[in-house]
Structure 1
Amino acid sequence: MMDVTEHYDPDFIYTDGTSDQPFSGNGTGTGFKANAMQIVIADFYNRSIQRRGMVNTFSIVKFRHNTNGTVNTEEFGIPEKINSKEPWIAETPVGDWFYAPDFTYNSGMMIKYIIEAIARDGNAAICISLLPDGSIILP
């Protein structure tokens, strides 16, 4: 991730995880613990300041409590009420988080999901999985 930040200057970075933060070692059963996420995020924001003169970027770190500059996620879900206390993104895949053959795309469901997230003061991220050859087939 630091290589991508260094060479491509992204506007945001997104991480998934299995515990309170990605790359912590928690929930893996290995017993190894690390602070890699803090190092990656610090590098990302420091490079943003160096290149842009300010932090006008953000990070999405799943399974983490609200932190300055970090956007929280609602995987497969949308809050029941308007959530304006913190930035958040609703996220869902079209089908699954990975390629699966013979999936029928439901555009109406995706549009409704996006509208519901925005109506509750959030954003929406839709995962469209690549085919095994790296291409995308749109219906």
Structure 2
Amino acid sequence: MIGLTLIGAGMVWMVLLPFNVWSMTIGFTLSQLGGGFWFGNNMTNAISHLDHNFHSAGNSIFAAVNNYSAAVGIALAASIVSVFQKGAGDLSANTLAGIQWTYRLDVIMIALAIWLSISVMKKVRAEQTV
């Protein structure tokens, strides 16, 4: 939860504060720090539920999914910015609007990730008490 909270705080920081180098640096640092906390713990927890024989396969699957999701996320962000850039008017203002909408979408997806993580944690805790 610490990782998801940091990711969410970083994204909300970038959405709400004015777009400048310092606010983007701090927001990006928070979100990347949170990503490190979240991904490592998530991977370790998931692989610990596998039989020992499947640990290397689980590691490979996490690495592949991480790479594919990064590629899809970059393509989605680039597509959103591109759509805004094709609008009439100032290119820099349109690019900024596209970036801001990309961050807003990130906040929504992080909220979904937090909800899913809490749901899974509750389910695992309920199974452990039985």
Give the TM-score band, short-chain normalised.
Answer: under 0.3
RCO higher in structure (CA 8 A, sep ≥6): 2
Q: Which has the higher strand share?
A: 1
Q: Which has the higher helix share?
A: 2
When the two structures are superposed, what TM-score results if normalisation uses the length of structure 1?
0.26
Larger radius of gyration: 2
When the two structures are superposed, what TM-score results if normalisation uses the length of structure 2?
0.27
